[in-house]
Every structure is written in structure tokens, then in C-alpha cells.
Amino acid sequence: MNHSSKKVPTGILGFPVAPMDQSGKLDEKAFEQNVEFLLQEGLSAIFVACGSGEFHALSHQDYRLMVETALSAARGRVPVYTGVGGNITHAIELAKLSEELGADGYLILPPYLIDAEQEGLYRYLSAIIGSTELNAIVYQRDNCILTLSTLERLLEHPQLVGLKDGHGNMDLNIELTQTIGSRLAWLNGMPMAEVTMPAYVNLGFSAYSSAISNYIPHISRLFYNALLNGNQPMLNDLYRHVILPINAIRRQRKGYAVALIKAGMQIVGLPVGTDVRPPIISVEEEHYRKLEEIIKVAFDRFPEPRKEVNPQA
């Protein structure tokens, strides 16, 4: 398989959530609506069952259902990636399942609990990447921080197409990007990635995961367009009135990286509910109200552009 011809994510990446029904299982209809919303809003790739999708707590059945639903909704219009990781046996099983179901690739989340040596990380990642022909993206964060030499060893796998950075060590990022260059796609996966994207874009990071795109995707688009076009006044406005205030709430509690997305979606009328799977906690009432106020400002100050009606869509 020629991996250079496969769909490698660029631009603003959508990470749908995992809505729950009353029994704690995946709400398939609400999840499908989430994916459809992201597709209609023009996001360039869909990543299912990753951090925002509560990978840590999904049953095998719900995982399969999320992948099948996303692929059905996307219909090949954008690449669909899955999340794998944690327990290595489980990670390889999910990578093979993703291949069987027809996903374009997967994002490798950190290994379970173990703080490993570089050789151990290499063996862990190499085993997963080599288990399928799918595109693989390594997630640089937490207990999976690779040195340049380890990442270069992994380049022996043509399946490895990208690195997503959620660590934020800019010295290391410069060393990696300037040495490896265009062999890999570089994705910004920092918490509230809009905050750091100006520091990443000049290093060759052409894509980022946008949590707020689940509920105010027009802000994500405005932000990225302003960044790429050097529109500093627009960037300043977006940071001051929307991005930094939301980020301030996100930092109030552990797990808000996920819970705040569901709260935002609830506020704008997307039916996913605010329940999250343990050990994540739901957004507290005071923070929910503050988010409501910020979202109102976002729509008042930065109105959504009118969409053209396409009867065939």
C-alpha cells in the first residue's frame, strides 16, 4: 500500500464526543448528529474514540459502533481516524478492528500507566504500527515522550504518517520538525490548541485538534484563517473575548477538556447531554453559566456566516 496516497489529516481536526444514554451506553443517534455537524461545518478529518470521545471508558461494542457510524456519515468525504492505545494487546486489537471496518488510520494514545524507557516506547509503538497497513499517528504526551532518535527509528514503518504533540516542549518540537521535515504530518494536540497554534504554525504544524469546533466551529475557522493570513486584530479579538476565557474555565477542573465540550454542545442545542464517564466529572453549574455567557459573546461579536442551502446535501 502506498501510504503517501492515503488521506493524512491537515487543517482543523474534529474530535466528536461520546454521548451516553440513560444506561451509560453510547447514544448512537446523538453521536451521528455530532459527526454530521462537524462534517457540515467543514472540518477536515474526524477522529473518533480518542480523548474527547472518552476512549478510557468505552466498551468494545460502543467503540465499534462509533467507528461504523462515523465511517457511514463521512462517506469518504474526509479521513476517519480512531483512537488506540493503553494496554498493548487491546491497542493492537483496536487497530486491526479499525482496519477491518475501513478507517483511514488511528491515533496512538499513551501506553497504560507505565513510565517507560525509550526502547520500551519504541517496541510498544512499533508493535502497534506494524500490526496493520493503516496510517498511524503517534501522540506525544504524558508518559509517551519520544526523543528524536526514537522517532527516527519508527520512520522505518511507512504506516507512520504523523506526530501529534500534546506535550509542548518547543525545543524538542523544533528538533523533530527541522530534522524530520515533511516525512511526517505535524499536528498540534495541546489542550485548547488555539491558544498555542501561533507558536506551532511556523514549525510546520499544519493541523490542530479543535475542542471548540464541536459547538462553535465558526470561531475555529475564523481563528485559523486569521492566523494563516496574519490578521492580528481578529486574532486579538478572538483571544480576548472567546478563546482565553474558555481556556480559563477549562483549567478550573481536571477532566474539563472533555466535559466542557459536552457543556458547550448542550448550550448551543446539540443533543449530547452533559453526562460523562468516570473518572471524569461533569461541568459545575457556575462554570456552565460562564461558558454560556462566553458562547453568547461569540455569536454576538462574531456572527456565523450565512450558509448556502444545498438541496442535494
pLDDT tens sequence across 45-100 = 999 999 999 999 999 999 999 999 999 999 999 999 999 999 999 999 999 999 99
Question: Residue 239, Cβ neighbours under 10 Å: how many?
Answer: 16
- The CA-atom distances, in angstroms, between 86 and each of 89, 112, 115 are 9, 4, 12
Instruction: Give the predicted TM-score (pTM) of the model.
Output: 0.95
- Cell numbers that stand for 197 in this block: 497554534
Per DSSP, helices labelled H in 52-141 are: 60-74, 88-101, 118-129
pLDDT digits (tens, 9 = 90+) for 137-170: 999 999 999 999 999 999 999 999 999 999 999 9
Cell of 153: 527509528
Nearest to 34 by CA among 213, 227, 253: 213
Mean pLDDT (the chain) is 95
Q: pLDDT tens digit string along 92-129?
A: 999 999 999 999 999 999 999 899 999 999 999 999 99
| pLDDT at residue 271, as a whole number | 87
pLDDT at 5: 54
Q: Give the count of beta carbons closer than 10 Å to the beta carbon of residue 36.
A: 15
pLDDT in tens, 268-309: 999 899 999 999 999 999 999 999 999 999 999 999 986 544
- Residue 259's CB: how many other CB atoms inside 10 A? 24
Q: Is there a cis peptide before residue 217, judged by omega within 30 degrees of 0?
A: no
| Strands 185-188, 205-209: pairing kind | parallel
Whether 260 shows a pLDDT value over 50: the answer reads: yes
